[in-house]
Structure 1
Amino acid sequence: MNAFRFVCAAALSLALVAPAFAKSASRMRLLASPDPAKIGRTVRLQAEVDGRGLGPTGKVTFSDGAVVIGAALLSRIGAGQATLTGGATHACAVSAAGGARCWGGNDRGALGDGSTKQRDAPVDVQGLSHDIVAVTGGILHSCALTSAGAVKCWGFNNSGILGDGTSNDRLRPVGVSGLSSGVVAVAAGAVHTCALTSAGAAKCWGYNSEGQLGDGTTSSRRTPVDVAGLSSGVVAITGGREHTCAATSAGAVKCWGYNDRGQIGDGTTSDHSAPVAVSGLSSGVVGISAGGAHSCALTSAGAVLCWGANFDGQLGDGTYENRSTPVAVSGLSSGVVAISAGEYHTCALTGAGAVLCWGSNSFGALGDASTPGSRPIPGPVTGLSSGVRVVAAGGSHTCALTSAGAVQCWGQNFFGQIGDGTNTHRSTPTPVLRLTPAVRGRALLSTRSLGVGAHTLQASFPGDAAHDPSSAAQSQTIVP
C-alpha cells in the first residue's frame, strides 16, 4: 500500500513539473482580390494556414488596421491543392516545415536535388527548405512559389521553360525573371509555365509552338510574357500538355493553345494563340484543371464539367467521344470541392473527403484495385471514401493527402513516383516514405466595407491545441 502511494505520488509530481506538449509552428498567407478594387465592390479575403498532423483548426480573424472586419472558420478539405502536385513521372509536396520535397523521375533535374538520379522516396529540393507555399510539376520540370510571391523553377529548360532567360537545364531552383514578388499562383504545363499575379494578371513562358503562352504568337519565350487580354481579373490558372486555361473573378473560363481534341472548349478544333471563351462557362466557375488534352471546371454548385480528349473516358460523361464544349461528369452534379486532371485521367475530391477518379487506368492510376483499362464514369478510390484533404493527378499516377497528415500515391511507378521506396506499380493508395507534408486550412471572407484609399489588411490565427499562433498582412487599394 505504501509502495502504491509512493508510485502515485511520484507520477503526480512528474506530471506537475513536466513541460507542456510542444506545439508545432503554423504559417499563414493572406490573399486579397481584386487589388485594386473599386469602391463598393466585393473584396475576397483568403487566409491560408499551414500546419502538420491533423492540420490547423478554429477561426481566423480579419481586420483593416485596428478595425475587425469579421472572422471565418478554417476549412481543410480541398484547401491545400497547391501543396501537392503530380508531374508526368514525378511528384512534389510542400513539407510541414515549409520546404519543397520531390520524388520520381529526374532525368533532367525535375527533383531539384542537384542530380539527375531518380528517387523512389522524397528528397529535399536544394535551397527551398522554408517559405514555400505551392508546388507544380510539368513533364521534366518543376516550380515552387514562395511566401514572398517569388517563383523558382528547375529541371528541363528547352525553349526557356524555367523562365530564367536561358535554355540551360537547372538541377537546382533558379528565379524566374521579373517574378521575384507579387505572384499568388504558379502552374506548370508540359513544356511551358504560367503564373498569376496579385493584380490578377496572367503571365506565361516556355515552349509556344501551339500558342499555349497566349500572347498572340507561336514564338517560344525564355522569360514571362503577358497573356493577351488577361492583365487583370484572373483568379486561377492551369497548364495542360499544350494548352492553358484561366478562370476570371466573374466565374468565366478562357483557354488557349492547341485544340486538336477540343480542349479549348470553344466548339471548334482550331488552335488559338490568345484566350477565347469556353462555351457555356461565362459565370459560376470556382476551379479549373487542365490535363493532357482535356480540361475540367468546378462550379460553385459543386458540379464538374469537362471537355476535350475522351479516348480513355477522361471526361467522365460515360462515353469515349471527344467533346469541344463542356459536358457534365456523370454523378458529379454537386458536392465536389476540388478537381485534378492528369494526362489521361481525372479525379475529384468531395466535401466528405472522398476521392473519385475516371479515365485511363493504366498502371492503376484510378486506384480502384482493378485491372488496367479505362472507366468513363467516376468511381471510388480504394480506401479513400473519407478523410482526404488534397488530390493531385499526374501522368499515370495520382497522390492524395489524408486527414491523418500523410500522403499516399498509386499508379505507375517506373521512376519511383509513388514514393514508397520501390518501382512496383500500385493499384491502390500506398504511403509515401519520409514525408511530413504541410496540412493547410483555408478561411474565406468577403467584404464591401473598405473605403477609398490604401489599407493594410491583417489575418490572425490564435493557434489551437497543436499549433502556435500566426498572422499575415496584405496591402489593398480601393479606388473611386
Structure 2
Amino acid sequence: MSSNADGAVVLSWGAGRTGQLGNGTTSDSLSPTAVTGLNAEAVTKLSAGGVSVENGFALALLKDGTVRAWGDNVAGQIGNGTLIDQTVPVMVASLTGIKDIAAGGTHALALTEGGRVFSWGDNAYGQLGHGTSGGERSKPAEISGLTGVKQIAAGADFSLALLTDGTVRAWGRGIHGQLGNGSRATSTAPCKVGLTDIVAIAAGAHHALALTTDDTVKSWGYNLHGQLGNSSTESSTVPVDVDWLEGVSEISTGAHHNYAKTSDSHVWGWGDNQYGQLLEGDETFDSDVSRTNRTAPVEIPRLEGVQFLDGGARHGVALTADAVFTWGDNSHGQLGHGTTVPGYGSVKIPNTSIRFIAAGRGGGATYVC
C-alpha cells in the first residue's frame, strides 16, 4: 500500500461526482487515489452506498469507535449536521463506541458495542426506524427499542438488523417485499423477518440475504434479475431458499447481484449480469453468456484464493492474499485499471497490504485500505 507522512492511506477510485472518492475533488479517477486525511491503520471497516452509479457516499469506522463520512449529502447521510456534499472525510456527529457501519442509498446506520443502533440521512420510507417517515436527519439518532443487535445492513431504502438470538429485524420501504415479513407495506419501526438461526445478513438495493447456522442462504425482496437465486424472477415478501448452495461461509450483495464463498474456497454468483458482474464469458463481457442474468448460483472459477468479496452497483471486487481483483461495469473507472474499458483484472497497488475492501453498492466507486 502506498504511504505518506501520516502513514498508510485509504485508497479509492471510480466515480467522483459527489466527492465520494474523498480526495478533495469531484472528478472521476481511473486508478487508485488517496482519501484525504485517513490513516488506513486506524480504519477497521469501510462501507459505501449511493443511489446511482454517479452519486455515492462512503463511511469509515475507526479503531477509536468514531466514524468518518464523505461524498453525497443530499439527505444528510454524511451525518455532520449539514446537507452539503463533502469531498474529504468529516466526523459523523456524536458517535462513539461504534463497532459496525452500513451505508444505504441515502441513509446510514451505526452499531454500538452495546448492541444499540443509530441512523441518519433520508427517511422518506421510514428507513431510519424512528416511527415516522418523510424528511431527513442530518445527525445520528438512536433507534428506540432496538437492542441486542450484532450486525446491521442497509439497502437503497430499507434497513436490517441481526440480533444476538439469531433473528432479524427490518424496516423502511417494503414495496418489493424487502422487509421479509409477508407484506409489501412500509414499516417505520423494526419488524420481525420470518427467520431464525441466522449468523449473517446482507442488503442489496431492494433485496436481502441471510446466512443460516447450517451454512445455507435465504433471500427475499425484489427479483427481476434473479437476485433471489431460487430459479425464478418473481419477487418474494418472505424468505426463500437460494438454490444449490451449501457450506457457505460468506455472503455479499451488489445492487441487484450477489456473491457467496463456500468453505471449500469456491465462489458463486447470481442475479444481474448485464455488466459482467458474474465473471462469465470472454474477458470483454461482450458475449451472450457474459451478460445473461442468472436466477440460480453459478460458480465463478476465475476467483481463487479469495479472502473477501463485495458487490457494487454494477461491478464486483475481491481481495486475495496478494491482490485486489475487480470486474464488471467500468463506465467511471470503478475497476481501477486505468481505463474505462470493461473487463477484469487485478488493480496495481504499490506495497500491497490490503485488509478491507468496499464497493459502492449504489455508486460507481471502490475503496480499499
Tell me if both proteins adopt one fold, taking TM over 0.5 as the criterion: yes
Matched, 1:387 2:293: no
Matched, 1:167 2:86: no
Aligned counterpart, 1:365: 277
The answer as to whether partners of 2:279 and 2:290 remain within 8 angstroms in 1 is no
Matched, 1:134 2:45: yes
Aligned counterpart, 1:118: 28
Cα offsets for 1:93-112 (capped at 9, x unmatched): xxxx7632111100010010
Shift of 1:266: 0.2
Mapped to 2, the partners of 1:363 and 1:272 lie a distance apart of 33
1:362 is paired with a residue whose SS is coil
Q: How does 1:209-248 map to 2 (within 5 A)?
A: 209-218=124-133, 219-230=135-146, 232-248=147-163
Shift of 1:227: 1.7
1:376 is paired with a residue whose SS is strand
Aligned counterpart, 1:106: 16
Structure with the larger RCO, 1 or 2 (CA within 8 Å, 6+ apart): 1
Aligned counterpart, 1:302: 215
Picking from 59, 63, 74, the partner of 1:143 is 59
The answer as to whether partners of 1:257 and 1:264 remain within 8 angstroms in 2 is yes
1:371 is paired with a residue whose SS is helix
Shift of 1:123: 1.1
2:39 is paired with a residue whose SS is coil
Mapped to 2, the partners of 1:288 and 1:315 lie a distance apart of 14
Q: How does 1:41-80 map to 2 (within 5 A)?
A: none
The answer as to whether partners of 1:355 and 1:391 remain within 8 angstroms in 2 is no
Cα offsets for 1:377-418 (capped at 9, x unmatched): 10112412x41110101101011111x321101100000111
Q: State the one-letter code of the partner of 2:311.
A: A
Question: Which runs of 5 or more structure 2 residues have no equivalent in the other structure?
Answer: 2-6, 51-55, 282-288, 357-369
Identity %: 37
Matched, 1:433 2:348: yes
Q: How does 1:349-428 map to 2 (within 5 A)?
A: 349-369=261-281, 370-384=289-303, 386-402=304-320, 404-426=321-343
Shift of 1:228: 3.2
Q: State the one-letter code of the partner of 2:90.
A: V
Shift of 1:117: 1.0
How many pairs align?
A: 336
Mapped to 1, the partners of 2:129 and 2:263 lie a distance apart of 34
1:165 is paired with a residue whose SS is coil
Mapped to 2, the partners of 1:112 and 1:296 lie a distance apart of 29
Alpha-carbon RMSD: 1.4
Cα offsets for 1:105-138 (capped at 9, x unmatched): 0001001000011111111110002311110111
Picking from 221, 225, 234, the partner of 1:312 is 225
Q: Give TM-score scaled by structure 2 length.
A: 0.88
Matched, 1:271 2:181: no
Picking from 189, 198, 203, the partner of 2:118 is 203
